[in-house]
């Protein structure tokens, strides 16, 4: 746990969140500033700052569960017509929270390209 990390504090329960998925290595919770009818953050319980820090000798369990969680959340939320998964990585992408998180967005027509 990183003591100054908002998402670590959500994992520990020190900051409340609307949690929609809890697994061994991953949790999912609704985004505080939702950009779509479904907008959930899926994060590893372990603190890893960004996806470019991913280490396959260490991080495979949460990586696999991240996508299993996305499947389950998409099913639970009725996103059968489509959804989008997004990782922002680093300053130019707009990553604002330095704890790996995969956005799952759905429930409306999503445009492309993103801003």
Q: Which residues are catalytic?
A: 101
Inter-residue long-range contacts of 89-97, CB under 8 Å, 24+ positions, other chains counted: 89/50, 89/51, 89/52, 90/50, 90/52, 95/50, 97/5, 97/6, 97/7
Q: What is the x/- site pattern for ligand DGP, positions 71-90, by CB under 6 A?
A: -----------------x--
- In angstroms, the CA 47 to CA 82 distance is 29
Region near ligand DGP per CB under 6 A, out of 45-53, 61-69, 72-80, 91-99? 91-99
Phi, psi angles (nearest 5°) of residue 38: -110, 120
Minimum distance, C-beta of residue 64 to ligand DGP, in the bound complex (Å): 21
Q: Which is nearer to ligand DGP, 80 or 92 (CB)?
A: 92
| Strand 83-86, strand 26-30: pairing | unpaired
Per-residue binding letters, 7-26, with ligand DGP (x by CB under 6 A): --------x-x---------
CA–CA dist 83, 61 (Å, integer): 23
For ligand DGP, the closer of residues 68 and 88 by Cβ is 88
Instruction: Provide the binding-site residues for ligand DGP, judged by CB under 6 A.
Output: 6, 15, 17, 29-33, 41, 88, 94-97
């Amino acid at each position: 746990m990183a003591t100054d990390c908002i998402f670590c504090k959500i994992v520990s329960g020190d900051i409340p969140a609307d949690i929609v998925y809890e697994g061994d290595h991953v949790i999912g919770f609704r985004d505080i500033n939702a950009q779509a009818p479904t907008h959930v953050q899926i994060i590893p319980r372990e603190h890893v700052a960004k996806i470019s820090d991913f280490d396959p000798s260490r991080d495979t369990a949460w990586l696999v569960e991240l996508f299993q969680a996305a499947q389950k959340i998409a099913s639970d939320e009725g996103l059968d017509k489509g959804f989008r998964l997004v990782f922002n990585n680093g300053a130019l992408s707009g990553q604002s929270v330095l704890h790996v998180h995969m956005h799952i967005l759905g429930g409306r027509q999503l445009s492309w390209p993103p801003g």
